[in-house]
Structure 1
């Protein structure tokens, strides 16, 4: 008689090393002006808002022909020590590392900006953060997005700082929405809860920083969200949007004015970088 033994194998996701031990947590907290505090919904909201209001959203490196490094020590050197900004991958990886060092449970995910468009790729990093029995959407790298986290519940809303957002669940997806002028809602991005690996962000980062269809390779983008206003530099156009419905202020920025405008947006570049950015502006 022949005996057949059946072996059942299970596949588990590999443990991921996000190198959070390389982060100088004290330096990061000094940068955003926050104390180290035990995990709580209130502390998470304070950290999120302080990060968004302190560290600029910008794509200067991409405009200069550089692909931003996603290695945590490089991100911290740039956003914390050199007082620069970055885009979603840099912001999100830095914030997630700080949260984990503070004791939060964090899952790094990916979203599609322009979710309802069939050709929209997965190119945005966000995090799902657990605090006790509650979970939150933390999204510090969405430019003119959330000031504070949203509870990960269908229909959750916030108007913090005067900026309304809604989170809606549709099947396995979560949709972050903003109001439209006709009292409707527009999908800013959509995501599911699939955990991502570091290499997933490396691939998306390469697309964002180099592909001709990427919005970040076409023009300089700087955004600063605050209570009641959002300041933006989009190519040659500088504008201030107001949460209370006041008309948007707009003006055109010349190459000679670029340095002053960047400084007003808390972007620190050296003289060589500024000269190269002015050359890009002159060629537009």
Structure 2
């Protein structure tokens, strides 16, 4: 993945990175924290019926050239491009989203980075339950601001779970399972096609946006807006005429 249209200075400016990047944990952490705040998870192109390209050059042009966001194949590809440019060893993985009792394909893209002797899951595109900073695969429960994440492993399979600060339930919510087998961008072409064209895909059925803040996150699913702030959750149903303004003001996007 060596796109001609990816520019590291443009990426660092886009996410508001401070200082000089290096292949270390401090850089990896700042990259992820700043990207999830500056580059929203969003499916506006899918909702508009546009073709979604996950070719690296197209992803870089879209997010760095127009200040757009994207869903996992786009935002995590962008993160991987930055890792390459900085010299952070990493691997793209395919994860199996957890949705009830239904066993789903490995259709979610995540990044596994190798820095300072550790293995760190980086995921900038999982919507409501998404990680806020790199997650250490070898650690126990890890607090990220007001949220807590943990990993459960068995037979070379990993399962990431979370508790969001502000949710009433104390139960652990499963995000996805995965193993450490490497994937390539091309491996996600079928999943991208399904998620952007099939009437049964969640991204076709509903508007879905998420943008992290320093104290929480905003999540818009359909007309339901949830705001997590300092461990508190507020939510409301938006009138149709209020959705474009909310998308602009809270997510920095134009419909």
Query: Same-fold call, TM > 0.5?
Result: yes
Give distance in 2, aligned partners of 1:62 and 1:182.
32
Give distance in 2, aligned partners of 1:173 and 1:181.
29
1:251 pairs with one of 236, 249, 254: 236
2:93 pairs with one of 101, 105, 109: 109
Q: Which residue number in structure 2 is paired with residue 263 of structure 1?
A: 248
2:178 pairs with one of 191, 194, 206: 191
**Structure 1 unaligned blocks of 5 or more:** 1-17, 275-284
TM-score (norm 2): 0.91
Q: Shift of residue 210 of structure 1?
A: 1.3
Question: For residues 250 and 132 of structure 1, do their structure 2 counterparts lie closer, same or farther at Cα, with a shift above 3 Å needed?
Answer: closer
CA contact (8 A) 2:225 2:236 kept: yes
3-state DSSP class of the match of 1:159? Answer: strand
Give distance in 2, aligned partners of 1:37 and 1:225.
22
Report how many residues are paired: 250
CA deviations over 1:192-251 (Å, ceiling 9, x no partner): 11111222111111111112221111010111122332211111122213452x3x3222
Indicate yes or no: 2:216 matched with 1:216: no
CA deviations over 1:93-116 (Å, ceiling 9, x no partner): 110010111001110001111177
CA contact (8 A) 2:90 2:113 kept: yes
Alignment of 1:90-239 (within 5 A): 90-114=74-98, 117-144=101-128, 145-153=130-138, 155-179=139-163, 183-239=170-226
Q: CA RMSD in A?
A: 1.9
Pick the structure with greater CA Rg. 1
CA contact (8 A) 1:20 1:101 kept: no
Question: For residues 39 and 268 of structure 1, do their structure 2 counterparts lie closer, same or farther at Cα, with a shift above 3 Å needed?
Answer: same
Give distance in 2, aligned partners of 1:44 and 1:242.
24
TM-score (norm 1): 0.82
